[in-house]
Amino acid sequence: MAHAELDNQLDLLEGDTEDPRGGPSWLIMIAGTILTFVTCVAVSGLYYGAERREQETKYISVASQAKETLRVAQHDLLMEEAHWETYTNATGDMIIDRKLKLPIDDAMKLVVGEYSGTTGVKAGK
Q: What is the pLDDT of residue 33?
A: 97
pTM for this model (two decimals):
0.34
What is the C-alpha to C-alpha distance for residues 16 and 12, in angstroms, rounded to an integer? Answer: 7
More confident residue, 121 or 12: 12
Q: What is the pLDDT of residue 31?
A: 97
**pLDDT tens-digit map of 35-74:** 999 999 999 999 999 999 888 777 655 567 778 888 888 8
Element spanning 87, H or E: strand 83-88
Average pLDDT of the chain? 76
What is the C-alpha to C-alpha distance for residues 38 and 82, in angstroms, rounded to an integer? Answer: 69
